[in-house]
């Protein structure tokens, strides 16, 4: 059995994937806008958690290596938090890190 791994098409960043998948233009525009909003909302939530973690590191005058030990992650992961590299983290991971420093996260929907 052979697995076909040939790449036939690559959607460029920013292009409307839904339009390329054959959705009607109006529906593709609606789906694209909804997905962009969801992506942005997730990014903002991650940034908020990262800001809290970075503030905690600053308040305790910790070096990244010291923070990494407490957070149970590698030093480069701490650097990614401080530099707000949101794509490298899930919300779950950031919530776990907050819990490890005694700052449990609560969810407010509204």
DSSP 88: G
Q: What is the pLDDT of residue 108?
A: 86
Rounded to an integer, what distance in angstroms lies between the CA atom of residue 44 and that of residue 86?
A: 9
Query: In which residue are the tokens 């290596």 written?
Result: 65
Rounded to whole angstroms, how far apart are CA atoms 29 and 5? Answer: 30
Q: What is the pLDDT of residue 4?
A: 87
CA 61, CA 17: separation in Å to the nearest integer? 45
- Pick from 89, 83, 86, 88: which is nearest to 44 by CA? 86
pLDDT at 11 over 90: no
pTM score over 0.85:
no
Superfamily of domain 19-100: lambda repressor-like DNA-binding domains (1.10.260.40)
pLDDT tens readout for residues 80-103: 999 999 999 999 999 999 999 999
């Amino acid at each position: 059995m052979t697995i076909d791994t040939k790449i036939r098409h690559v959607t460029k960043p920013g292009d409307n994937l839904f339009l390329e998948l054959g959705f009607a233009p109006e529906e593709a525009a609606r789906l694209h806008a909804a997905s962009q909003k969801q992506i942005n909302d997730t990014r903002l939530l991650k940034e908020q958690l990262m800001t809290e973690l970075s503030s905690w590191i600053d308040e305790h005058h910790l070096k990244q290596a010291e923070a990494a030990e407490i957070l149970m992650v590698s030093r480069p992961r701490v650097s990614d938090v401080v530099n707000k590299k949101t794509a490298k983290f899930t919300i779950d991971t950031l919530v776990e890190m907050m819990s490890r420093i005694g700052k449990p996260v609560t969810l407010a929907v509204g």
